[in-house]
Structures are given as structure tokens and as C-alpha cells.
Amino acid sequence: MRMSWKCFWLMLLIGLLAVSARANMVTNGGFETGDFTGWWTWVADSDNQTVSIDSDYKYEGDYSAKLWSASSAWSAQMGTSFELGGDTAWTLSFVYSAVTPSDWGSAGVAINYYDAEGTYLSYEWISLYDEGPAPSPGEWVLVSNDYTTPTEAAKVDLKFEVANWTTVNFDNITAIPEPATLLLLGLGSLAIRRRS
């Protein structure tokens, strides 16, 4: 049975919309489960650090993730991982707000790349206070950066961390492959459908 071009383009559009709807590689990036489903958390000193879900202070939806650390030796951390092949362009986006800002505080995001066997390849770092002091309470700052995975990459780890008497909330965390990658995925799935 031969498919008309009109039908082909309609299926292409539907396929691309379906692919783009699943494009976010981060599970529970808005923390709308009310917990850390899809994430790990870590603190070295539970008396002086916490990682929690916050329902009082959020960007949108009902929740955000709140990291607090009164330690200068250790950071409070949360992280997640996802599969992403080599030489893939992708965008990491999130919003953050310093609930208790301090000019000496520190907060950042580590991006670590691994190959299919779990061997560490390289990393990138985002320092959230590079451009000056922390934002005022109630002020959310958008971070959106483009990256390309190393050639041998198979997995990406994201680690959000705060230290030095700092409290930061994070929300709307997304990791999205570039549109060209999504287009190729959509075209591939439609080509398979067209042959059937």
C-alpha cells in the first residue's frame, strides 16, 4: 500500500510532535512528584546541610528542590543521569533562586560525561555566582547553556550543589537534544512506518 505525500507529511508532523514532547531527558525536573523521584541526594553533615522538596518557594507548579549548606568544607548535592550519545548537541536549562543569599556563598552545576562502560570522559562546570552576588529572595534566574557531548559519550550526569552558608532553590530543569537530532529521530521513525 502506497502512502500519499500529504499523509507522509502529516505523519512526519505527528512524529516530530511526539518526539519533541519526550525530548526532556531529565526525569521529574520540576519536582512535581513532591519528592526526588529520578534524582539522588547527598549531604556530608546532616546538622548543617539539607536537600529537600519545597512547597512554599517555587517557580511554577507546586514544588521546587531546596539545597542548604552551612558548611564550607562540603556541599549539599542532588543529581540525576540520562543517556545521550556522542557528538550530540543539547541544551541544559533551569531556574534558580537564592532564598538566603550571601556574597560569599557558592552554588553550581557539574556536568560529567561517561562512555558506555561507565568510564569518566570529561566535565563542564556552571558557577551560578560568576556574574556577581546571588539573586534576591523571590528573584528567579534562568540559566540556559548549549553543550555537545564528547564523541565517546553514552551518559550524562548532572550534579547541583551549594556550600558556604547558602540556600538555593532549583526548578524547571530540562536537558533537551537539539532540534536537528529530534528531526532525525522523527524522520527515522516515519521512514520505518512508511516501509510497512
Query: What is the DSSP annotation of 18-63?
Result: HHHHT---STTTT-TTSS-TT-EEE-S-TTTEEEEEESSS-SSSS-
Count CA atoms within 13 Å of residue 2 on its CB side. 2
Per-residue pLDDT tens over the stretch 148-168: 999 999 999 999 999 988 889
Number of H helices, E strands in the chain: 2, 10
CA distance 31 to 33: 5
Count CA atoms within 13 Å of residue 113 on its CB side. 19
CA distance 98 to 64: 12
What mean pLDDT, rounded, does the chain reach? 83
Per-residue pLDDT tens over the stretch 25-52: 999 999 999 999 999 999 999 999 999 9
pTM, to two decimals: 0.79
Cβ pair 187, 18 in contact under 8 A: no
Per-residue pLDDT tens over the stretch 114-150: 999 999 999 999 998 755 566 777 789 999 999 999 9
CA distance 79 to 42: 9
CA distance 161 to 79: 9
Domain 28-177 bears CATH identifier 3.40.50.1820: no
CA distance 177 to 95: 18
Torsional class of 28: left (φ above 0), alpha (ψ -120 to 50), beta (otherwise): left
* Chain-centre distance for alpha carbon 128: 15
Residue 12 has pLDDT above 90, yes or no: no
Domain boundaries, the chain: 28-177
